[in-house]
Each structure stands twice: as structure tokens, then as C-alpha cells.
Structure 1
């Protein structure tokens, strides 16, 4: 549909045309960019018909609401919550802003123990809680992935407390506890160029997991994504976050290549039976023992659908042999995703898959390091360092992968 055929449809007194309302948001915005008004927001202000005609498109822009927790941002979110159509589309509250820009123009105070002083007593935060409880009833996903530019990283001075991502997490945890907010997704990890510590236990609420109201809200959590450096201080907090989410279906953990991370996974694997609905496990950028992977698999065998291991160290192929030998005990398992797995014999390579008949080779998406993303470990850039399979022939795929691993091990 060209611009000339769409423009006459937006006229006063004319009903919203179904052909226009059915267009994807990206197409509508492309059309708007060709008009004298330049963008969707400007088109909406031209006349009443244009306003009503683009209501749905405008609402769809806010499926993810990006906030820096400044006064301006929270006021804007409050204004959107007053519109019944827009607020029904807001699903995710996303905080990606660089730390120096977080929480601007708000007078924050911290307690002697390190966390924010009574944030829910602040009118702006209390209003946010009321909006989430009463109007933004579909916004039950919270994504914290702070970023920082190189310039800001060099110029930052930490002489006194400044509002940081852990303070955002503290506020969200407090709101979940206050209203038993049934959160669906909680994503907390480091974004682009961010090197400061996150999940600093001093900044987070105390006795959180003993709060009955918080337990009620957190028990609804279905998707937990954590990219943290596990420390002696936050070890128990992280474990409680996982094991307190009884309805958890998706778990992504990236905890660093440390001995403490190995211990963490060992303890988690002994408690994983508490997560009886877990469907997807992703373990990236961390260290874990083979026996603990086997325990994680065994404890989730009736519900597990997908396993993703990327950038993992400390593994030999025995966990894959276990999965293949016991695949009948994994009735829902359909997807395996492996990449850059480092074991005692070096990085596990799936290069033998390339030499299989096309019927078997074609089952997989293959990954190599032609772009040189890996450090110089002596691995051939054209060698296969990752494979992904999804589908009903998972048994055949596991057979192929075990054979490929055995071939690799015999070559060392």
C-alpha cells in the first residue's frame, strides 16, 4: 500500500479503516516518516481522525517502557497509565540507562546499612506502585541491564552514594513485597560496557525472602535471568531468588568463571527438585562440574524442553552421554544448544559433524569462530565450536553429538 493510497483514509468524519489498522507498527511509522509531520506522534496531533486512527499503533510502541527512574520518566509512565488503551499494552518495564543518568532530579537517601531509606514512602515511588497495582496490570516483567559509556566510566567518581541499578532492584523488590505483585519475568544482568558491581547485597532489602507477601508475588515468577558475579555476600540471596520461584519455567544463569560459581551450581543442583516446572535451562559464561550438570538434568527430566550451555568451563562429555542414554526419561526435551564448552581436553569441537551425511549434518545449526571472537587458544577458526538442534528427532541428534564428542576426545 503506497503513501498516496493511505493518506486519503485519514479524514475527519471517516471511520478508522481496517486496512490501516491492520498494518504492522513498523509500516505505519514508515508511512508517517514520509508525511510532512515526520513521525507518528506528530501525525496524531493533526486531527481527531488521525488521532483515533493511530491509537492502537501508538499503544503498541509502549509494549516495553524504557525508564531511567528519573522524575521525568516516572511522570511520563504515570501519564501513559491514565490511557486505558495504552496501559493495556505495557508489558515490560525496562531499565537500560547509563548509571549516571539513573534517578535524576529525585532526592534519594540511604540508610547506614546501604539500602534506600523508605523508597515506598516517597510520593513518586508510591504513585508508581499504585500505577502498577491498579492500572498497569499487564506490566509484570522487569528488566534491569545497566550500560555505561567509556567516557562515563572514566569520569565517574564514587565519593558518595549515587543512585545505581541495585537501588532500582531494591525498589522493585519492595513493591513486590508491599503489594504481593505477581511478577512474571525478572531479568538482572550487566549491559554493554558495564563493569561496576551489581547485586551488592548492601543495597538490597533485608529479610526479603522471609516476607510472606513477597513470597506470594515471587512465587508467580516464570522467567528468571541473572548475569551476576556470585560473591560470598550475595550467594544466599541469589540462591533464594531461584529456589523461591516455585513456578519457574525458564532459568538463565551467568555467574562468572570462579570456584565460588562452581560451589553455587553444586548446591543448586542438590536443590533443583524444588523447581518442578522448569522447562528451559541456560548456563552461560560460568564454571560448573559435570556431575552437577547431570544432577540438574536428572532433577528436571520430566519438564525440561531446552538446554543451552555457552561459554562454560569445567565440563567433560559425560553429561552428554548421560542425557543420550537416559533420553527416554526426558519426554518433553526437544532443543539442545552448545557453544564454546571448555573441558579437560580443551575446547570441545563438533567439527566431525561436518563430515557426516547431509541428512545428519543438516539437522544442526553449526557455529564456528570465523570472526575471531575467541581468544587465541589454537582452535582452527573454521572448526565447529557450537551446535544447535531443535525438533522431534532429538534422539538422533544426541547420538550424532555423542559420536562427534567421542571422535574429538580420541583425537586428543
Structure 2
């Protein structure tokens, strides 16, 4: 049995002795001579989503805490459902064999993508990816990601149009076919992370200019950046490679006009996402966006938006105190599973990885659902039957394509 408390939020002191610590918003008793990094404020204004709580309303709500994540009655209900669904995960799909209208299949880390003529069919599976590997299958994960993205797609239309046509199934999105830019737009608000391309990993190696962004000396892990930064990546041999904007243009990956439009939209999406998350008691730490270009030249938001797979979230209420005390933030994402694998193997080089413990898999499934319910203020609908997910998807996609084609 694994002690989840230590695995999920290790109480490790992170401040290197050799660094001068520039704490954001330190306690009032701190010396006045301590340097403080003040985040850059943006003047961009966005309308609030209808479900966003007002500041007045928030004052009457108890602050979101990790304790609620661990002890709520809802957790017990969800965990029971998760543990009864290990044998009904959607680890792979074969709709090209079961839906005649689909022509071909492309397999991504999490999504299976099918060519439907004028449309593409994206099936979000339960596969859990990190370190450019598949680590496990997480019950309900595909449904959570698909429904979380749909909520955000609807809330961000005022910032950028998206490619969504319909959502015929809990795990499926049908989208417009477009030319996908071969660049992932990673936006970061904090110095953190554990993968090879994370900002903290490269920062502690001495890198101070990352993807064209100058990062100040003297920062420590989990510290807020002076301003949000964009650190684009591209693909090579199945892993992410950081690139600068100039390299993207020079390599012909995007035109300068398309890059500037997409990067501007990405930063606005992230700022908006941070505001929404904070209004719901969460810190949106970093995320990635993907864009495509429609036949008429419109730049479209595609793939997923602000999901726990593409984003890092922390509990806002406890962040400042934990940062000041050199503790890891309370997270509501997959970071604890990444850390477990890093502690038990070399996830980049080992040919065979250990099986993820069921306790951690169950915990991750619950956290994804908790995040969905916290952000959307709606109840996640656990499938009521044990019908194989692939059978249900086949039926729903077939009906949807019949009405579209």
C-alpha cells in the first residue's frame, strides 16, 4: 500500500542555498530590503463566463482546499466507480473497422484521430501519457478531457474561433478539417515542472534565455514569473523540442503573420484561463495550445483547452504559504504520477516501465473529475451502464456522421 500523502504532495524544501530568494508577496514582517518580483499586469479585458462566481459571491464560500479533495463524500462515490471500471477503460480504438464512413486512423498519445472526409473524428482515450510514453489507462479520463475541453471551447469563442462541429459521444469530438500548425504553444506563468523541457529543469541547469524569453536570475522552483511567457515546441522523433519564434519562421513551420496571430491568441487564452481558474480557487500554472488553419485562412483553436492533461493546476488558497515555506504546491493534475515514475525508474530510457499503482491511478481519475466539477460547477456524469465504451462510441459516431454526410 502506498502512502498517498507523501506521493501526491511531498513536503520537500526546494530553496537552493546558493540562490537569493525573491518571494512573491512575502509576509508583511519580511525585511523591506528583500527584492520582490511583481507580475506584469495586462490591461486586456474579457467578459466573464456566465458560470463564473463574482468576487462578492466568493467571499461567502470556503476556500478550495486539498482537504476537500481528500475527504468529500463525492470522492468516495467517484472512487468506488473508478475501482469498478478498471476493466472498461478505453485504451485503444478501431473505428476505422467499425464505422464505414471513416477512412483512416492516426494514433496520438491520447487521441485517436479518424478521417471522415470533410470532418475529422477525435476520440479521447483513457491513455495516460508523460515523458513521451504511455504510463497507464485512467478510468473516465477520456470523457473528462473531452467534456472539459468542450466547456472551455464554448467559453473562449470571444478570443479565438475553434474547429468544433459536434460532440456526439462523451469521448468524441467531430471537428472541421484544417491544416494543423506543427507547433505547440506552451504558455507558462511559473518556474516549475519535472520533464526535460519544463522551465524549472532547464532553469536549474543555468539556462536564462528559453525559447526567446529572458528569465531573471535568482528564481526558485514554483515561483511566479514576472510575466507569462510563451515557450513553443515542435516535434522530433516523438518528443517535444523547444524552439524560438525566429526558428519557427526560418524553418518554414509557420508564416510570421500566422505565428504572431496564434501566439497572441495563446497568451490571451492563458490570461483568461488564469482569471477563470482563480475565480474557482485554482491557479492555472501552465498549459499548451494547438492551432490550425481553415481553408478560408482563419486560424482556429484545436485539440484541447485547459484540461488537466494539457495544463498544470494548483490550489490557490495554499500556494503562497507553501511557497514561502519551501513546500510543493497542492496540485490537481498529473504531476504526482510523473514524480512517482521518476522515483521508480528512468521513464525516458527504460524499455519496460513499472505498472502504475492502482491507488495512484484511482487518485488521478478522481482529481481529473474534481477539477472538471470545480471549474465547470457541474456534476460529472459517470456512465450508468457497463456497456463497452468502444461499442457506444461506434453507435454514436455512426449516427452523427450519417446526419452530417
Richer in strand (by share): 2
Richer in helix (by share): 1
TM-score higher than 0.5 here?
no
Larger RCO of the pair (alpha carbons < 8 Å, separation 6+): 2
- In the superposition, the TM-score normalised over structure 1's length comes to 0.20
